[in-house]
Structure 1
Amino acid sequence: MAFRVVPGGPGRVRFKLCGLTDESAVEAAAAAGAAYLGFVFFPPSPRNLSAARARDLALAAPVGVAKVGLFVDPDDASLDAVLEAVPLDMIQLHGHESPERAAAIRARVGLPVMKAIGVAGAADLGQVASFAGAVDQILLDARPPRGAALPGGNGTAFDWALLRGFACPLPWMLAGGLNPANVAEAIRISGARQVDVSSGVESAPGVKDPALIRAFAAALSATAA
Protein backbone atom coordinates (compact mmCIF):
# COMPACT_ATOMS: atom_id res chain seq x y z
CA MET A 1 0.00 0.00 0.00
CA ALA A 2 1.52 3.34 -1.08
CA PHE A 3 0.57 6.06 1.38
CA ARG A 4 0.25 9.66 0.32
CA VAL A 5 3.33 11.82 0.73
CA VAL A 6 2.47 15.04 2.54
CA PRO A 7 3.33 18.14 0.51
CA GLY A 8 6.11 20.33 1.83
CA GLY A 9 9.78 20.16 2.70
CA PRO A 10 11.67 17.13 3.94
CA GLY A 11 11.19 18.20 7.56
CA ARG A 12 7.39 18.09 7.40
CA VAL A 13 5.75 16.03 10.14
CA ARG A 14 2.97 13.71 8.96
CA PHE A 15 -0.31 13.78 10.84
CA LYS A 16 -3.32 11.59 11.35
CA LEU A 17 -6.70 13.09 12.12
CA CYS A 18 -8.70 10.49 14.03
CA GLY A 19 -12.36 10.22 14.92
CA LEU A 20 -13.82 11.84 11.82
CA THR A 21 -17.61 11.83 11.75
CA ASP A 22 -18.73 14.15 8.94
CA GLU A 23 -17.84 15.30 5.45
CA SER A 24 -16.75 18.79 6.50
CA ALA A 25 -14.11 17.32 8.81
CA VAL A 26 -12.87 14.96 6.09
CA GLU A 27 -12.63 17.89 3.68
CA ALA A 28 -10.82 20.08 6.23
CA ALA A 29 -8.38 17.30 7.14
CA ALA A 30 -7.55 16.57 3.52
CA ALA A 31 -7.16 20.25 2.70
CA ALA A 32 -4.81 20.66 5.66
CA GLY A 33 -2.56 17.90 4.35
CA ALA A 34 -3.45 14.99 6.64
CA ALA A 35 -1.60 11.81 5.68
CA TYR A 36 -4.11 9.58 7.49
CA LEU A 37 -7.83 9.83 8.20
CA GLY A 38 -9.09 7.81 11.17
CA PHE A 39 -12.54 6.24 11.52
CA VAL A 40 -13.58 4.77 14.87
CA PHE A 41 -15.46 1.47 15.17
CA PHE A 42 -16.01 1.31 18.93
CA PRO A 43 -19.61 1.87 20.10
CA PRO A 44 -18.81 3.53 23.47
CA SER A 45 -16.98 6.33 21.68
CA PRO A 46 -18.79 9.54 20.67
CA ARG A 47 -16.80 9.19 17.44
CA ASN A 48 -18.14 5.73 16.61
CA LEU A 49 -19.38 5.15 13.06
CA SER A 50 -21.54 2.57 11.42
CA ALA A 51 -19.92 0.76 8.51
CA ALA A 52 -22.31 2.48 6.11
CA ARG A 53 -21.46 5.95 7.40
CA ALA A 54 -17.74 5.21 7.38
CA ARG A 55 -17.99 4.01 3.79
CA ASP A 56 -19.54 7.31 2.72
CA LEU A 57 -16.78 9.28 4.44
CA ALA A 58 -14.00 7.06 3.11
CA LEU A 59 -15.28 7.42 -0.43
CA ALA A 60 -15.38 11.21 0.02
CA ALA A 61 -11.67 11.28 0.91
CA PRO A 62 -9.12 12.17 -1.76
CA VAL A 63 -7.33 9.28 -3.43
CA GLY A 64 -4.00 8.58 -1.74
CA VAL A 65 -4.88 9.66 1.81
CA ALA A 66 -4.63 6.56 4.02
CA LYS A 67 -7.95 5.60 5.60
CA VAL A 68 -7.45 3.98 9.01
CA GLY A 69 -10.03 1.95 10.92
CA LEU A 70 -9.69 2.03 14.71
CA PHE A 71 -10.84 -1.10 16.54
CA VAL A 72 -10.69 -2.14 20.19
CA ASP A 73 -10.13 -5.87 20.78
CA PRO A 74 -12.15 -6.78 17.67
CA ASP A 75 -13.26 -10.29 16.85
CA ASP A 76 -12.95 -11.61 13.30
CA ALA A 77 -16.64 -11.15 12.55
CA SER A 78 -16.64 -7.45 13.41
CA LEU A 79 -13.51 -6.86 11.34
CA ASP A 80 -15.00 -8.70 8.37
CA ALA A 81 -18.25 -6.76 8.57
CA VAL A 82 -16.48 -3.40 8.41
CA LEU A 83 -13.97 -4.38 5.75
CA GLU A 84 -16.70 -5.74 3.48
CA ALA A 85 -18.22 -2.25 3.41
CA VAL A 86 -15.42 0.24 4.01
CA PRO A 87 -12.33 0.69 1.78
CA LEU A 88 -9.72 0.91 4.56
CA ASP A 89 -5.97 1.09 4.02
CA MET A 90 -4.84 0.31 7.57
CA ILE A 91 -6.12 -1.20 10.81
CA GLN A 92 -5.41 0.49 14.15
CA LEU A 93 -5.67 -1.74 17.22
CA HIS A 94 -6.37 0.27 20.36
CA GLY A 95 -7.22 -2.40 22.92
CA HIS A 96 -5.32 -5.12 24.75
CA GLU A 97 -4.39 -7.10 21.64
CA SER A 98 -1.34 -9.32 22.07
CA PRO A 99 1.44 -9.46 19.47
CA GLU A 100 0.07 -12.83 18.39
CA ARG A 101 -3.45 -11.48 17.93
CA ALA A 102 -2.17 -8.42 16.10
CA ALA A 103 -0.15 -10.61 13.73
CA ALA A 104 -3.16 -12.84 13.13
CA ILE A 105 -5.32 -9.83 12.27
CA ARG A 106 -2.69 -8.50 9.88
CA ALA A 107 -2.50 -11.85 8.12
CA ARG A 108 -6.29 -12.18 8.00
CA VAL A 109 -7.11 -8.76 6.57
CA GLY A 110 -4.03 -8.29 4.37
CA LEU A 111 -3.57 -4.67 5.47
CA PRO A 112 -0.90 -2.83 7.47
CA VAL A 113 -1.59 -2.75 11.21
CA MET A 114 -0.82 -0.01 13.73
CA LYS A 115 -0.81 -0.98 17.41
CA ALA A 116 -1.50 1.59 20.13
CA ILE A 117 0.57 1.36 23.31
CA GLY A 118 -0.59 3.26 26.40
CA VAL A 119 2.26 5.15 28.05
CA ALA A 120 2.39 6.48 31.59
CA GLY A 121 6.01 5.72 32.45
CA ALA A 122 9.24 4.48 30.92
CA ALA A 123 8.38 0.85 31.67
CA ASP A 124 5.45 0.99 29.24
CA LEU A 125 7.84 1.53 26.33
CA GLY A 126 9.18 -1.96 26.97
CA GLN A 127 6.04 -3.40 25.37
CA VAL A 128 6.95 -2.02 21.97
CA ALA A 129 9.70 -4.53 21.14
CA SER A 130 7.30 -7.47 21.44
CA PHE A 131 5.30 -6.12 18.48
CA ALA A 132 8.27 -5.98 16.09
CA GLY A 133 7.41 -8.33 13.24
CA ALA A 134 3.75 -8.45 14.25
CA VAL A 135 2.64 -4.95 13.18
CA ASP A 136 3.78 -2.20 10.83
CA GLN A 137 3.60 0.88 13.06
CA ILE A 138 3.28 1.79 16.72
CA LEU A 139 1.12 4.56 18.14
CA LEU A 140 2.37 5.84 21.50
CA ASP A 141 -0.66 7.23 23.31
CA ALA A 142 -1.28 8.42 26.86
CA ARG A 143 -2.50 5.59 29.04
CA PRO A 144 -6.20 6.27 29.79
CA PRO A 145 -7.00 7.76 33.20
CA ARG A 146 -8.19 5.27 35.80
CA GLY A 147 -11.85 4.50 35.18
CA ALA A 148 -11.92 6.01 31.68
CA ALA A 149 -14.48 4.48 29.34
CA LEU A 150 -12.36 5.07 26.24
CA PRO A 151 -8.87 3.76 25.40
CA GLY A 152 -8.01 7.00 23.54
CA GLY A 153 -9.37 10.43 22.72
CA ASN A 154 -9.35 11.42 26.39
CA GLY A 155 -7.36 14.61 25.81
CA THR A 156 -4.53 13.65 28.16
CA ALA A 157 -0.80 13.64 27.42
CA PHE A 158 2.12 11.69 28.84
CA ASP A 159 5.63 12.96 29.57
CA TRP A 160 7.10 13.41 26.09
CA ALA A 161 10.61 13.47 27.56
CA LEU A 162 10.27 9.70 28.06
CA LEU A 163 10.86 9.38 24.31
CA ARG A 164 14.24 11.11 24.32
CA GLY A 165 16.73 8.50 23.20
CA PHE A 166 14.04 5.85 22.71
CA ALA A 167 15.04 3.61 19.81
CA CYS A 168 11.73 2.36 18.48
CA PRO A 169 12.10 -0.76 16.31
CA LEU A 170 9.13 0.31 14.16
CA PRO A 171 7.85 3.52 12.61
CA TRP A 172 5.89 5.32 15.33
CA MET A 173 3.35 8.03 15.87
CA LEU A 174 2.78 10.27 18.90
CA ALA A 175 -0.73 10.69 20.33
CA GLY A 176 -2.42 11.83 23.49
CA GLY A 177 -3.59 15.33 24.35
CA LEU A 178 -2.12 17.00 21.27
CA ASN A 179 -3.63 20.27 20.08
CA PRO A 180 -2.61 23.35 18.05
CA ALA A 181 -1.06 25.00 21.12
CA ASN A 182 1.22 22.15 22.22
CA VAL A 183 2.02 20.02 19.19
CA ALA A 184 5.17 21.94 18.24
CA GLU A 185 6.55 21.51 21.76
CA ALA A 186 5.61 17.82 21.73
CA ILE A 187 7.57 17.33 18.52
CA ARG A 188 10.56 19.27 19.83
CA ILE A 189 10.76 17.18 23.00
CA SER A 190 9.85 13.75 21.65
CA GLY A 191 11.38 13.88 18.17
CA ALA A 192 8.15 12.56 16.66
CA ARG A 193 7.88 12.62 12.88
CA GLN A 194 4.23 11.52 12.90
CA VAL A 195 1.45 12.72 15.21
CA ASP A 196 -2.18 11.82 15.84
CA VAL A 197 -4.89 14.27 16.90
CA SER A 198 -8.54 13.78 17.76
CA SER A 199 -10.13 15.61 20.70
CA GLY A 200 -7.55 18.42 20.41
CA VAL A 201 -9.29 19.75 17.29
CA GLU A 202 -12.88 19.35 18.49
CA SER A 203 -15.46 21.90 19.58
CA ALA A 204 -17.40 19.12 21.36
CA PRO A 205 -16.82 15.37 21.73
CA GLY A 206 -16.88 13.90 18.23
CA VAL A 207 -17.34 17.29 16.51
CA LYS A 208 -14.23 18.37 14.60
CA ASP A 209 -13.64 22.11 14.16
CA PRO A 210 -12.22 23.00 10.72
CA ALA A 211 -10.53 26.12 12.14
CA LEU A 212 -8.73 24.04 14.78
CA ILE A 213 -7.70 21.52 12.12
CA ARG A 214 -6.16 24.33 10.08
CA ALA A 215 -4.43 25.69 13.19
CA PHE A 216 -3.01 22.26 13.99
CA ALA A 217 -1.64 21.90 10.47
CA ALA A 218 -0.15 25.41 10.64
CA ALA A 219 1.63 24.51 13.88
CA LEU A 220 3.11 21.47 12.18
CA SER A 221 4.26 23.55 9.24
CA ALA A 222 6.06 25.88 11.61
CA THR A 223 8.13 22.98 12.97
CA ALA A 224 9.56 22.42 9.48
CA ALA A 225 10.56 26.05 9.00
Structure 2
Amino acid sequence: MRPCPRVQVAGVHDVDEALMLARLGVDSVGLPLRLAVHAPDVTEAQAARIVAALPPDVLAVCITYATDPAEIDALCRALGCGAVQLHAPMAPAALAALRARRPDLYVIKSVIVPPDPAPARREALLAEARALAAHCDALLTDSLDPASGATGATGRTHDWSVSALLARACPCPLLLAGGLGPDNVAAAIRAVRPAGVDAHTGLEDARGRKDPALVAAFAARARAALDAAGA
Protein backbone atom coordinates (compact mmCIF):
# COMPACT_ATOMS: atom_id res chain seq x y z
CA MET A 1 0.00 0.00 0.00
CA ARG A 2 1.27 3.46 -0.90
CA PRO A 3 2.09 5.84 1.95
CA CYS A 4 -0.17 8.79 2.64
CA PRO A 5 0.50 11.73 0.28
CA ARG A 6 2.42 14.52 1.98
CA VAL A 7 1.54 17.30 -0.49
CA GLN A 8 -1.70 16.98 -2.44
CA VAL A 9 -3.16 19.57 -4.81
CA ALA A 10 -6.71 19.30 -6.11
CA GLY A 11 -8.25 20.69 -9.25
CA VAL A 12 -6.42 20.79 -12.58
CA HIS A 13 -7.59 21.77 -16.05
CA ASP A 14 -5.27 19.89 -18.41
CA VAL A 15 -2.22 17.68 -18.73
CA ASP A 16 0.23 20.59 -18.74
CA GLU A 17 -1.11 21.91 -15.44
CA ALA A 18 -0.94 18.46 -13.86
CA LEU A 19 2.66 17.94 -15.02
CA MET A 20 3.58 21.35 -13.65
CA LEU A 21 2.33 20.24 -10.22
CA ALA A 22 4.40 17.06 -10.46
CA ARG A 23 7.55 19.01 -11.38
CA LEU A 24 7.09 21.32 -8.40
CA GLY A 25 6.99 18.53 -5.81
CA VAL A 26 3.33 17.58 -5.48
CA ASP A 27 2.83 13.94 -4.41
CA SER A 28 -0.79 13.55 -5.50
CA VAL A 29 -3.14 15.31 -7.88
CA GLY A 30 -6.83 15.41 -7.06
CA LEU A 31 -9.45 15.36 -9.82
CA PRO A 32 -12.89 16.45 -8.55
CA LEU A 33 -15.74 14.68 -10.42
CA ARG A 34 -19.42 13.90 -9.79
CA LEU A 35 -19.72 16.72 -7.30
CA ALA A 36 -22.57 17.93 -5.14
CA VAL A 37 -21.93 21.68 -5.40
CA HIS A 38 -19.07 22.79 -7.65
CA ALA A 39 -18.79 22.10 -11.37
CA PRO A 40 -15.90 19.80 -12.35
CA ASP A 41 -12.87 21.43 -13.96
CA VAL A 42 -12.63 18.67 -16.58
CA THR A 43 -14.75 15.95 -18.11
CA GLU A 44 -14.17 12.36 -17.09
CA ALA A 45 -12.52 11.66 -20.46
CA GLN A 46 -10.16 14.61 -19.93
CA ALA A 47 -9.44 13.41 -16.39
CA ALA A 48 -8.47 9.97 -17.72
CA ARG A 49 -5.98 11.60 -20.10
CA ILE A 50 -4.48 13.57 -17.20
CA VAL A 51 -4.14 10.42 -15.09
CA ALA A 52 -2.41 8.58 -17.95
CA ALA A 53 0.11 11.43 -18.36
CA LEU A 54 1.17 11.65 -14.70
CA PRO A 55 4.55 10.19 -13.74
CA PRO A 56 4.34 6.91 -11.79
CA ASP A 57 5.49 8.49 -8.53
CA VAL A 58 2.52 10.92 -8.48
CA LEU A 59 -0.73 9.50 -7.16
CA ALA A 60 -3.90 10.32 -9.12
CA VAL A 61 -6.84 10.79 -6.74
CA CYS A 62 -10.45 10.81 -7.89
CA ILE A 63 -12.32 13.23 -5.62
CA THR A 64 -16.03 12.52 -5.69
CA TYR A 65 -19.35 12.70 -3.86
CA ALA A 66 -20.42 9.32 -5.21
CA THR A 67 -21.35 6.87 -2.45
CA ASP A 68 -22.21 3.58 -4.15
CA PRO A 69 -19.23 1.18 -4.00
CA ALA A 70 -19.94 -0.18 -7.50
CA GLU A 71 -20.12 3.34 -8.97
CA ILE A 72 -16.92 4.40 -7.21
CA ASP A 73 -15.13 1.28 -8.41
CA ALA A 74 -16.26 1.79 -12.01
CA LEU A 75 -15.33 5.49 -11.99
CA CYS A 76 -11.83 4.86 -10.65
CA ARG A 77 -11.25 2.06 -13.17
CA ALA A 78 -12.41 4.27 -16.04
CA LEU A 79 -10.07 7.05 -14.94
CA GLY A 80 -7.14 4.79 -14.11
CA CYS A 81 -6.94 6.28 -10.60
CA GLY A 82 -5.20 4.35 -7.86
CA ALA A 83 -6.87 6.39 -5.13
CA VAL A 84 -10.23 7.92 -4.31
CA GLN A 85 -11.19 10.72 -1.93
CA LEU A 86 -14.80 10.43 -0.78
CA HIS A 87 -16.49 13.66 0.26
CA ALA A 88 -20.14 12.71 0.73
CA PRO A 89 -21.48 11.24 3.99
CA MET A 90 -20.83 7.51 3.83
CA ALA A 91 -21.56 4.78 6.34
CA PRO A 92 -18.68 2.60 7.55
CA ALA A 93 -20.49 -0.41 6.04
CA ALA A 94 -20.36 1.17 2.58
CA LEU A 95 -16.65 1.87 3.02
CA ALA A 96 -16.15 -1.74 4.08
CA ALA A 97 -17.97 -2.88 0.93
CA LEU A 98 -15.71 -0.70 -1.22
CA ARG A 99 -12.65 -2.08 0.54
CA ALA A 100 -13.83 -5.65 -0.09
CA ARG A 101 -14.50 -4.84 -3.73
CA ARG A 102 -11.24 -2.93 -4.34
CA PRO A 103 -8.59 -3.85 -1.76
CA ASP A 104 -5.95 -2.27 -4.03
CA LEU A 105 -7.63 1.17 -4.06
CA TYR A 106 -6.17 3.82 -1.73
CA VAL A 107 -9.23 5.23 0.05
CA ILE A 108 -9.28 8.69 1.67
CA LYS A 109 -12.46 9.66 3.53
CA SER A 110 -13.28 13.24 4.42
CA VAL A 111 -14.46 14.40 7.82
CA ILE A 112 -16.07 17.82 7.55
CA VAL A 113 -15.49 20.32 10.35
CA PRO A 114 -18.24 22.94 10.79
CA PRO A 115 -17.51 26.49 11.97
CA ASP A 116 -17.00 26.77 15.75
CA PRO A 117 -17.99 23.20 16.68
CA ALA A 118 -19.31 22.84 20.22
CA PRO A 119 -17.73 20.24 22.55
CA ALA A 120 -20.50 17.71 21.82
CA ARG A 121 -19.95 18.14 18.08
CA ARG A 122 -16.21 17.61 18.52
CA GLU A 123 -16.89 14.32 20.27
CA ALA A 124 -19.28 13.30 17.50
CA LEU A 125 -16.64 14.09 14.87
CA LEU A 126 -14.09 12.02 16.78
CA ALA A 127 -16.48 9.07 16.98
CA GLU A 128 -17.25 9.41 13.25
CA ALA A 129 -13.57 9.55 12.35
CA ARG A 130 -12.71 6.48 14.42
CA ALA A 131 -15.52 4.48 12.82
CA LEU A 132 -14.47 5.50 9.30
CA ALA A 133 -10.76 4.96 9.93
CA ALA A 134 -11.25 1.22 10.27
CA HIS A 135 -12.18 1.00 6.59
CA CYS A 136 -9.93 3.51 4.82
CA ASP A 137 -6.25 4.30 4.35
CA ALA A 138 -6.39 7.95 5.40
CA LEU A 139 -8.79 10.58 6.64
CA LEU A 140 -8.97 14.17 5.39
CA THR A 141 -10.40 17.03 7.41
CA ASP A 142 -11.98 19.82 5.39
CA SER A 143 -14.16 22.87 5.98
CA LEU A 144 -17.88 23.44 5.62
CA ASP A 145 -19.17 26.55 3.85
CA PRO A 146 -22.60 27.05 5.48
CA ALA A 147 -23.73 29.46 2.76
CA SER A 148 -23.30 27.05 -0.17
CA GLY A 149 -23.21 23.72 1.64
CA ALA A 150 -19.87 22.97 0.00
CA THR A 151 -17.55 20.64 1.90
CA GLY A 152 -14.47 21.13 -0.23
CA ALA A 153 -12.82 23.82 -2.36
CA THR A 154 -14.33 26.40 0.00
CA GLY A 155 -11.22 28.52 0.58
CA ARG A 156 -12.14 28.44 4.28
CA THR A 157 -10.02 27.25 7.17
CA HIS A 158 -11.58 25.53 10.17
CA ASP A 159 -10.71 25.10 13.82
CA TRP A 160 -7.38 23.31 13.55
CA SER A 161 -7.67 22.03 17.13
CA VAL A 162 -10.39 19.66 15.89
CA SER A 163 -8.09 18.29 13.18
CA ALA A 164 -5.29 17.99 15.76
CA LEU A 165 -7.59 15.94 17.99
CA LEU A 166 -8.41 13.58 15.12
CA ALA A 167 -4.76 13.33 14.05
CA ARG A 168 -3.79 12.23 17.56
CA ALA A 169 -6.69 9.89 18.19
CA CYS A 170 -7.28 8.07 14.90
CA PRO A 171 -5.31 4.98 13.86
CA CYS A 172 -4.82 6.01 10.21
CA PRO A 173 -2.98 9.03 8.72
CA LEU A 174 -4.75 12.37 8.46
CA LEU A 175 -4.54 14.89 5.63
CA LEU A 176 -5.39 18.49 6.48
CA ALA A 177 -7.36 20.55 3.95
CA GLY A 178 -9.41 23.73 3.99
CA GLY A 179 -8.18 27.20 3.08
CA LEU A 180 -4.50 26.27 2.96
CA GLY A 181 -1.89 28.16 0.96
CA PRO A 182 1.77 29.15 1.14
CA ASP A 183 1.17 31.74 3.87
CA ASN A 184 -0.49 29.45 6.43
CA VAL A 185 0.54 25.88 5.65
CA ALA A 186 3.51 25.82 8.03
CA ALA A 187 1.42 27.15 10.92
CA ALA A 188 -1.31 24.64 10.11
CA ILE A 189 1.16 21.74 10.19
CA ARG A 190 2.62 22.90 13.50
CA ALA A 191 -0.89 23.10 14.98
CA VAL A 192 -2.26 19.80 13.63
CA ARG A 193 0.77 17.59 12.95
CA PRO A 194 -0.94 15.83 10.04
CA ALA A 195 0.61 13.23 7.76
CA GLY A 196 0.04 15.53 4.79
CA VAL A 197 -1.77 18.59 3.48
CA ASP A 198 -4.13 19.33 0.60
CA ALA A 199 -4.71 22.64 -1.18
CA HIS A 200 -7.04 23.75 -3.96
CA THR A 201 -8.28 27.33 -4.29
CA GLY A 202 -5.41 28.80 -2.26
CA LEU A 203 -3.00 28.04 -5.11
CA GLU A 204 -5.02 29.60 -7.94
CA ASP A 205 -4.62 32.80 -9.90
CA ALA A 206 -7.43 35.12 -10.98
CA ARG A 207 -8.34 32.74 -13.84
CA GLY A 208 -8.74 29.78 -11.50
CA ARG A 209 -5.56 28.13 -12.80
CA LYS A 210 -2.80 26.87 -10.54
CA ASP A 211 -0.10 29.51 -10.10
CA PRO A 212 3.37 27.93 -10.38
CA ALA A 213 4.91 30.33 -7.84
CA LEU A 214 2.19 29.58 -5.29
CA VAL A 215 2.44 25.85 -5.89
CA ALA A 216 6.23 25.87 -5.52
CA ALA A 217 6.09 27.89 -2.30
CA PHE A 218 3.30 25.73 -0.87
CA ALA A 219 5.10 22.46 -1.62
CA ALA A 220 8.44 23.67 -0.25
CA ARG A 221 6.99 25.13 2.94
CA ALA A 222 4.75 22.13 3.52
CA ARG A 223 7.62 19.67 3.15
CA ALA A 224 9.86 21.69 5.46
CA ALA A 225 7.16 21.91 8.14
CA LEU A 226 6.26 18.21 7.81
CA ASP A 227 9.92 17.27 8.15
CA ALA A 228 10.25 19.47 11.23
CA ALA A 229 7.14 17.89 12.73
CA GLY A 230 8.46 14.41 12.04
CA ALA A 231 5.57 13.58 9.71
TM-score higher than 0.5: yes
- CA displacement 1:62-101 (0-9 Å, x = unmatched): 1121111111033356435423421111111100111111
Aligned in 2, Cα 1:164/1:115: closer, same or farther, shift over 3 Å?
A: closer
Aligned in 2, Cα 1:98/1:28: closer, same or farther, shift over 3 Å?
A: same
1:139 aligns to what? 140
1:10 aligns to what? none
Question: Could you tell me how far apart the structure 1 residues matched to 2:32 and 2:60 are?
Answer: 11
Aligned in 2, Cα 1:116/1:96: closer, same or farther, shift over 3 Å?
A: same
Pair 1:88-2:81 in alignment = yes
Could you say what the CA RMSD is over the residues aligned between the two structures, in angstroms? 2.3
Q: Tell me which stretches of 4 or more aligned residues in structure 1 moved more than 6 Å.
A: none
- CA displacement 1:32-84 (0-9 Å, x = unmatched): 22111111112542444322101110111111211111110333564354234
Query: Which one is further off, 202-211 or 65-74?
Result: 202-211
2:127 aligns to what? 126
Higher helix share: 2
Structure 1 spans left out of the alignment, 5+ residues: 7-13
TM-score (norm 2): 0.83
2:28 aligns to what? 36
Please tell me whether the aligned partners of residues 90 and 114 of structure 1 are also in contact (alpha carbons under 8 angstroms). Answer: yes
Please tell me whether the aligned partners of residues 30 and 60 of structure 2 are also in contact (alpha carbons under 8 angstroms). Answer: yes
- Equivalent of 2:111, from 117, 128, 139? 117
Question: Could you tell me how far apart the structure 2 residues matched to 1:133 and 1:80 are?
Answer: 19
Please tell me whether the aligned partners of residues 174 and 192 of structure 1 are also in contact (alpha carbons under 8 angstroms). Answer: yes
- CA displacement 1:90-145 (0-9 Å, x = unmatched): 11110011111122122223412110000133232331111132111100112x12
TM-score (norm 1): 0.86
**By how many angstroms is 1:3 displaced?**
5.2
1:194 aligns to what? 196
The total of aligned residue pairs comes to 216
Pair 1:50-2:37 in alignment = no
Q: Which amino acid is 2:219 matched to?
A: A
Please tell me whether the aligned partners of residues 32 and 40 of structure 2 are also in contact (alpha carbons under 8 angstroms). Answer: yes
Structure 2 spans left out of the alignment, 5+ residues: none
Question: Could you tell me how far apart the structure 1 residues matched to 2:65 and 2:219 are?
Answer: 27
Q: Which amino acid is 2:108 matched to?
A: M
Identity %: 34
Please tell me whether the aligned partners of residues 173 and 193 of structure 1 are also in contact (alpha carbons under 8 angstroms). Answer: yes
Query: Which one is further off, 100-109 or 173-182?
Result: 100-109
**By how many angstroms is 1:167 displaced?**
1.8
Please tell me whether the aligned partners of residues 153 and 200 of structure 2 are also in contact (alpha carbons under 8 angstroms). Answer: yes
